[in-house]
Amino acid sequence: MQTSIQDFYRATPWGQEAEHILRNCVHCGFCTATCPTYQLLGDELDGPRGRIYLIKRMLEGGTVSGTTRVHLDRCLTCRACETTCPSGVEYGRLIDIGRELVEPLAPRTRSQRLSRRLLRLILPWPRRLAALTALGRMMRPLMPASLRDKLPRPDASSRDWPDARNGRRRVLVATGCAQKALRPATNAALARLLDRLGIDAVDAPDQGCCGALSQHLAAGDEAAAFARRNIAAWWPAIEAGAEAILVAASGCGVMVKDYAHLLRDDPVYRERAEQVSNLTRDPVEYFADQELAGLRIDIAGVGKIAFHAPCTLQHGQKLSGQVEALLRSLGFELTVVADAHLCCGSAGTYSVTQPEIATQLRDRKLANLLQAGPRRIVTANIGCQLHLESGAGQRVWHWLELLDECGLSL
C-alpha cells in the first residue's frame, strides 16, 4: 500500500515502524473474514482492513474524530487477522501505535479517562485486586446479577510451592498480577509439576504485572516501566542459572516475549530485555523440550475436555494446537470445538471496556465449547478463564491445574 506519512511522524522510530507495516498491506481483505468484531458488527471499519486504513489516515494527517477512536477501541487485539494475512502484516504492533496516536488527537471524556485510570491503578497490582475482589464477595448479595456473575469464584486449590532442592535444574516462574491475585493455584500447580519432573520453580519476590494491561490501555510508557521492573527482579535468578522463564498465562507470555521489542531503544535495558525474551517460554513449549517418556498420570474420571485456545497462545505466540497435542498424548479425550480461532471476548481489559461485544463473543464461544458435552472446559490464560467462567456456571481450568490434579509425574 502506498503511504504519505507526515514527516513529523516519519522522524520517530514508531512512525517508521508503522510505515513499514502499512506498506506490507496490499488491502486484499482476507483478514476481514476471521475478524470477530467484523463478524459481529458487519462494518468495514470494525475489521482489520478498515482499522489499518484509519491508522494510515491519522499518520497522513487526515481527519481524526471520536469515531476513529471507537473503531480502534473495539479491536480485541486478538491478532486472528495476523494469522490469516498472507502478506505478514504485523497488525498487533500497528494497532498499539494507532491507539497511542489517537489518544491526544481525539481525547476521551473525563469519565472515560477516569475509568481507564482506575483500571490501571487496580488490575496490575495483585494486593489491590485481591482486596477489591474480597470486598466484592462480601457485597455479593447486594449486587445485581450482571455484576455478581463477573466476580471471580473463590479458589480453594492448593497454593503450596515445593521447596527448592540443591543441585537441581531450575526455571523462573513469572507469576504476573491477575493470576497471582485471583488464581494463585495455577502457578503453584506449575511449580509442583516441575518439582515432580526434577526441576525447581523459582519465584522472584519483586516481580509484578508484565505490562500487557497498560499496553492494552494505550499506556506504553507504563508498560515499559513494568517490563523494566520485572527484568530487574528476574535478573538475579537469570544470573544464577535459571534455564527458562515460564509464563503460565499466555496473555502475559506474549507480552514478555515482546520485551526485546518494547525496550529496543533503551540503552540500559535493551540487552537484558533481549535475553529475557529469548528465555521466555509458555509451559507447553518447555514441556515439549523435556524427556517425558515414562510419565505417570491418572486421568480416570476426567471425561471429555473442551479446550479453549487463547488468542495470545494461538495468534500471539503462534503455538496453535500444542496444548491440545500434549493433552491428547497424555490420554485425555478432547472434543472438536467449532470456530476455535475466534476470540472469547476477554482480551485483557476488553470485557470491562466493551462489555456488550465481549458478552456476545463469550456466549458464542461457550456454545461452541459446550456443544459436544464436555465434562470440563480447559484453557491457558487467566483472562479467558475468568471471562468464560462468568457465563459458564462452572469452573474453567488451566491445563496446568488439570495435569497437577491428575498427578502427572515421572
Q: Could you list the residues that contact ligand SF4 (CB under 6 A)?
A: 25-31, 35-37, 48-49, 51, 75-81, 85, 87, 89, 91
User: SS3 of 280, please?
Assistant: strand
396-398 sheet: strands from edge to edge: 305-307, 376-379, 396-398
Cα 222 from chain centre? 17
Cα separation, 241 vs 225, in Å, equals: 25
- For the bound state, the minimum distance from the C-beta of residue 141 to ligand SF4, rounded and expressed in Å, comes to 37
- For the bound state, the minimum distance from the C-beta of residue 150 to ligand SF4, rounded and expressed in Å, comes to 22
Which residue is associated with the grid cell 504485523?
Answer: 90
Say how many C-beta atoms besides its own lie within 10 A of residue 287's C-beta: 21
Q: Which is nearer to ligand SF4, 28 or 240 (CB)?
A: 28
Q: Which is nearer to ligand SF4, 98 or 283 (CB)?
A: 98
State the DSSP string of 323-358: HHHHHHHTT--B---TTTTS--S-TTTHHHHSHHHH
Q: Which is nearer to ligand SF4, 29 or 303 (CB)?
A: 29
Q: Which is nearer to ligand SF4, 73 or 149 (CB)?
A: 73
- For the bound state, the minimum distance from the C-beta of residue 317 to ligand SF4, rounded and expressed in Å, comes to 15
Question: 86 CB contacts (<8 Å, ≥6 apart)?
Answer: 28, 30
Cα separation, 119 vs 136, in Å, equals: 16
Q: Which is nearer to ligand SF4, 45 or 302 (CB)?
A: 45
Q: Which is nearer to ligand SF4, 27 or 110 (CB)?
A: 27
Q: Which is nearer to ligand SF4, 361 or 388 (CB)?
A: 361
User: SS3 of 140, please?
Assistant: helix
Q: Which is nearer to ligand SF4, 97 or 188 (CB)?
A: 97
Cα separation, 406 vs 410, in Å, equals: 13
Exposed/middle/buried for 137, CB within 10 Å: 0-12, 13-18, 19+? middle
- For the bound state, the minimum distance from the C-beta of residue 31 to ligand SF4, rounded and expressed in Å, comes to 3
280-281 sheet: strands from edge to edge: 199-202, 169-174, 245-247, 280-281
- For the bound state, the minimum distance from the C-beta of residue 362 to ligand SF4, rounded and expressed in Å, comes to 14
- For the bound state, the minimum distance from the C-beta of residue 73 to ligand SF4, rounded and expressed in Å, comes to 11
- For the bound state, the minimum distance from the C-beta of residue 350 to ligand SF4, rounded and expressed in Å, comes to 9
Q: At what angle do helices 270-279 and 220-239 cross, to 10 degrees?
A: 70
- For the bound state, the minimum distance from the C-beta of residue 355 to ligand SF4, rounded and expressed in Å, comes to 16
- For the bound state, the minimum distance from the C-beta of residue 318 to ligand SF4, rounded and expressed in Å, comes to 15
Q: Which residues pair with 200 in a beta bridge?
A: 170
Position 399, amino acid: W
Q: Which is nearer to ligand SF4, 9 or 350 (CB)?
A: 350
User: SS3 of 205, please?
Assistant: coil
